[in-house]
Structure 1
Amino acid sequence: MKRWLPHPSMSLFVLVTWLLLNQSLAPGHVLLGALFGIALGLAFARFQPPRLRIRNRRILPGLIARVVGDVIRSNIALFRIILGGRSGKVTSGFVYIPLELTNPYGLAALACIITATPGTIWVSYQSRERLLLIHVFDLVDETVWIRTITERYAVPLKEVFE
């Protein structure tokens, strides 16, 4: 039963919504609404992420403290660049970062960390090549950014989630 109807409450909701929208209890509408409900329930089941498993909780407080410190430090650096009149001398650019982290929750956490840090933004992730593309507002050295993202964030997130 779970195979054909993985989300029965959602399928029932779709059926009821279909019938309400059509304002009809005709057998054709009931059948069509049921088919839509089953199809959407099956489609939804395919898009569900894997179950969250945190492997090493002891790392989390240190990682959170590191992220908060880096966000504060990045805010100050960006503040100095913009208000210090150095914004015309800034070289921004894109950096490809190879990652060993593959867990979707770890990647989502890494995306949040990178995007929450002023001056950086997550641009794309190529899962087959395991390449992350970020944009850096003040790019001085690509190898420093690769090492920073990998060692400070990706490795601890891998220990937490994988």
Structure 2
Amino acid sequence: MTRKPSLYKRILPSPSLSVMVVAFWLLMSDSFTLGQFVLGMILGVVVPLFAARLDREFARIGSLKPLPKLLFVTLWDILISNIRVAIQVLGPERRIHPGFIWLPLDIANIHGIAALTSMITLTPGTVSAALSDDRRYLLVHVLHLDDPDELIRQIKSRYEAPLMEIFP
């Protein structure tokens, strides 16, 4: 006999996904207003309902302890990257060296991978371009690529490691 899910589970099938949708909505909106917050909350309820119908792989949450630091690091990187990109775009074009890197992934949770790709794409100057079929590599385009190994190390330590604690 199968149990019918509770009303709470039917309304919020994945509370962690709801929180992430709200957080990313507020990060992407150009202003933090009550209206944007309410819209983010509505999306935080609606998006997981549709996602639950498409994908049966629900987000498992490990520890939320790294979340505040991860959000601070992400916001800081967005701020610094905005300044760097502005300097690069306004400077001589010959000083810009775009490139692609294949980022090897240690994180296996698809929700953690989605959060990682979002953080990379939210940071100006970087875009997540593709995920390999086996989910082991992420193709990232970088506006200015000096040292691919250092960039991989930074992404893994600043974003992927905390996300692996949040999404085991």
Residue in 2 that maps onto 1:160: 166
Which residues in structure 2 correspond to 1:4-43 (within 5 Å)?
A: none
Distance 2:127 2:164 in 1: 20
Which of 125, 132, 150 is the equivalent residue of 2:156?
Answer: 150
Counterpart of 1:57 in structure 2 is 64
Structure 1 segments (4+ residues) deviating >6 Å: none
1:110-149 alignment to 2 at 5 Å?
110-128=116-134, 130-149=136-155
Partner of 1:30: none
1:95 to 79, 101, 108: 101
Structure 1: runs of 5 or more not aligned: 3-43
Pairwise CA distance, 1:45 = 7.9
Give 1:108's aligned residue. 114
Cα offsets for 1:63-92 (capped at 9, x unmatched): 000000000000000111112x23332110
Q: For structure 1, which segment, 47-56 or 95-104, has the greater mean C-alpha deviation from structure 2 after superposition?
A: 47-56
TM superposition shift of 1:51: 1.9
Distance 1:102 1:86 in 2: 40
TM-score, reference length from structure 1: 0.68
1:77 and 2:84 are equivalent in the alignment: yes
Secondary structure at the aligned position of 1:58 is classed as coil
Question: What residue identity is the alignment partner of 2:158?
Answer: R
Change (3 A) 1:62 1:47: same
Q: Which amino acid aligns with 2:117?
A: A
Who wins on radius of gyration, i.e. which is larger? 1
Percent identity between the aligned chains? 38
Structure 2 residue runs without a partner (length 5+): 3-50
Q: Which residue of 2 aligns with 1:10?
A: none
The alpha carbon displacement at 1:120 in A equals 0.3
Aligned equivalents of 1:145, 1:59: Cα separation in 2: 21
Please give the root-mean-square deviation of Cα atoms over the aligned residues, in Å.
Answer: 2.0
Label 1:77 to 1:125 Cα distance change in 2 as closer, same or farther (>3 A).
Answer: same
For the residue of structure 2 that corresponds to 1:51, the secondary structure is: coil
